[in-house]
Structure 1
């Protein structure tokens, strides 16, 4: 079956926009030759220079800052005040500041970051928790995306949209502004911090950007695989993601009910030391179940009584066909069908070409593979080969809608597109 008849590409492109920026803390760097300098002393030098301005000059400078940046961010003066408060432990020589001085000092310790300047990719899709306004036979959804900016730092951002009854997809307009959440709580633990964050409820979902917060995430929150999880009649949204410190990776978990407030927690156990974990949408025989990749080559099935602790599982899929000889991994959480669990996979083949395949797992015992695709379901066409990382199509999660699978996927680690696949046709393609 050719892709032309099997796969309906929608030509709905989501591309990175360097004009979308957030404000982030700026910490003065210390030159190696400044042997007696510290970050605190440099911060105080900056504060001294601000305080040396006479009141009229300070007011004029703050006014100039606002004229340049006010329209690019919400509540900028409050952001300046908050940043000045964060820096108070570095202000060793000063106690009292005027409001203007505090706001101006806060501005000197912030910078703009274009969080999706380089790429906007690796999408995951789930049902919107609020289905009001959905069209008849249609469905509202939330899309998570990985944005990459300067220094290849990854963050988590979102879009919303609608799937019509016939499977066509539309994306809601993207907000011009963007913001990072307020940190509500930090809970220390032996494996690292658990963080509670929240956005303002009146911010559009496309404004919300979860930027790295902890040391383990400092160079990136990568490839979130969201799933709508049902447990005892309660619905929550979980996502496993890769936390990258710049030196090491590990899997962590994010959870939310409303995509306004989020908790981010480290995962423990041997399986969490790798990437590519994806949670089943419900417990199986009273246990949490996860698809993982423990050896950079095969796909594993894991079980746990504890959502946050994952030890080694059993390999259920190994490279079998030429398009996946280098490695295979999951492309999001399993999707429950009448026929079994549909697991989308990625395969890496010659010249490190990434394609998307599929596997059907037994519903009662997902360690049993019922069928798999001999050929990729999705491969880069000629218009999708060029980008930040050439020859790659990849997804972090699809969704079932009526008789179709709605598949958002990334193109060459640069931008995203959507496709739909009829479930009946897809199952026929799983014959390997």
Structure 2
């Protein structure tokens, strides 16, 4: 069966939008050639200059900043105050100053960051925890996306939408504003401690942006693979993702029940040293299970009694067909079907062309591969070959909807699109 026969591309393009910005801390750099340990820091120099302004000038300047940036962000004055509070070390050499001076100083140590100016890709999809008011046969969903801005820093952003009974997909309009969460945990030097953050429940989900927080994440929160995990009648949304420091990577776990409050925890163990881990949506034989790729080439099944510790697993899939000769990887958490676990995979072939395939794993023993794609389900079409990284289609997770698989996927590490595939047709393409 040809790709064109069963793959329904929706032509619902989600493209990066440089007008969406958040405010981030700004830290003036010190040139090594100019460094003198007896001098004040550049931060203190900025504070000195602000304090040298007379009160009328300072008030006028603050009003001008608010006029210029108000409407682009929520609660700007409170944001300026909070930033001033974080900069107390720069105030040690100064006498007390006015509220206006403090707010103005806070503004000088912030900058706008266009978090999705370069790319909006590698999507993952799960059912929305709130299905109230949804038409019969339809489902509301949450889509996570990797957003990339200046300096190729990756963050996590969200969209919501609706899958109709016939499989057609709609995306809700994106909020005009965007913001980062409130941090509830003190960042320490001890690696492995969880970090708690939260947003206001009044913010639309598309307004919520999880930007790198810890040193291990400083250059990116990459490729979140979301799954709704069921255990003892309770549902929790987990996402495995890659934390990138600019020099090293590690796997971490994001967890939430409402997409308002989140906990971020580094994973431990030898299997967590690489990227691309994906959690099964429930325990198997009373143990947690993951699909991972520890060797940059093959896929492994990993079990653990501890959600946060993952050691070496059992190799279950290795490159077999030409479209995946270079390497394989998972494309999100396995999806439970009557026939078994549907695992979407990616393969890399000639000229580093990425394509998406699938494998069917035994439901009771996922180490048994029942069937797999001889040919890709999705490969770059002529209209989907150009972008930041040419010849790539990629996803971080699909979702079952009635008799179909809803597959959001990225194109050339630049933008995202949707396809739907009937499960019966997909299974027919798999060879034993």
Q: TM-score, normalised by structure 2?
A: 0.98
User: Which residue is equivalent to 1:146?
Assistant: 146
> Distance in 2 between the 1:195 and 1:270 partners?
22
**Quick one: distance in 2 between partners of 1:431 and 1:248?**
38
Which residue is 2:259 aligned to? 259
Cα displacement (A) at 1:40 = 6.7
What is residue 51 of structure 2 aligned with on the other side? Answer: 51
Task: Give the conservation status (yes or no) of the 8 Å contact 1:292–1:301.
Answer: yes
1:158-173 map, 5 Å: 158-173=158-173
- CA 1:195–1:95: 2 relative to 1, 3 Å: farther
Structure 1 gap segments, 5+ residues each: none
Query: Structure 1, residues 135-166: CA drift from partner, whole Å, max 9, x if none?
Result: 11100000000000011000000000000011
- CA distance in structure 2 between the partners assigned to 1:229 and 1:340 by the alignment: 17
Equivalent in the alignment of 2:183: 183
In 1, the alpha carbon distance for the partners of 2:45 and 2:190 equals 37
Q: How far, CA to CA, are the matches of 2:371 and 2:56 in structure 1? A: 74
| Equivalent in the alignment of 1:123 | 123
Question: Is residue 377 of structure 1 aligned with residue 377 of structure 2?
Answer: yes
Displacement after TM superposition at 1:94 (Å):
2.0
Cα gap change, 1:189/1:240 in structure 2, threshold over 3 Å: closer, same or farther? Answer: farther
> Residues 3-18 of structure 1 correspond to what in structure 2 (within 5 A)?
3-18=3-18
In structure 2, the residue corresponding to 1:308 is in which secondary structure? coil
Structure 1 pair 79–37 and aligned structure 2 pair: CA distance change class (3 A)? farther
Given that residues 30 and 38 in structure 1 are in contact (C-alpha distance below 8 angstroms), is that contact kept between their aligned partners in structure 2?
no
> What do the CA deviations read for 1:52-99 (whole angstroms, capped 9, x no partner)?
000000001001101110110011110000000000122221252211
Aligned equivalents of 1:291, 1:189: Cα separation in 2: 30
Q: Deviations over 1:340-399 (max 9, x none)?
A: 000000000000000000000000000000000100000011110000000000000000
Separation of aligned partners in 2, 1:38 and 1:341: 64
Distance in 2 (alpha carbons) for counterparts of 1:266 and 1:225: 15
Q: Contact (CA 8 Å) 2:185, 2:196: kept in 1 or not?
A: yes
Q: What residue number does 2:346 align with?
A: 346
Judged with a 3 Å threshold, the aligned counterparts in structure 2 of structure 1 residues 44 and 131 are, in CA distance, closer, same or farther, namely: same
Distance 1:117 1:238 in 2: 27
Runs of 4+ displaced beyond 4 Å: 37-40, 187-190
| Gapped regions of structure 2 (runs ≥ 5) | none
Secondary structure class of the residue paired with 1:71:
coil
Alpha-carbon deviations, 1:211-245, whole Å to 9, x = none? 00000000000000000000101100000000000
CA contact (8 A) 2:158 2:208 kept: yes
User: Is the Cα–Cα contact under 8 Å of residues 30 and 37 in structure 1 kept in the other structure?
Assistant: no
Aligned to 1:60: 60
The equivalent of 2:238 in structure 1 is 238
CA RMSD of aligned residues (A): 1.2
**Would the aligned equivalents of 1:298 and 1:318 in 2 still touch at CA under 8 Å?**
yes
Distance in 1, matches of 2:256 and 2:218, equals 21
Secondary structure, in 3 states, of the residue corresponding to 2:363? Answer: coil
Alignment match, 2:208: 208
Contact 2:47/2:90 (<8 A) preserved: no
What is the number of residues matched between the two proteins?
A: 432
Alignment-derived partner of residue 22 in structure 1: 22
TM-score w.r.t. the length of structure 1 is 0.98
Alignment of 1:168-317 (within 5 A): 168-186=168-186, 188=188, 190-317=190-317
Look up the match of 1:321. 321
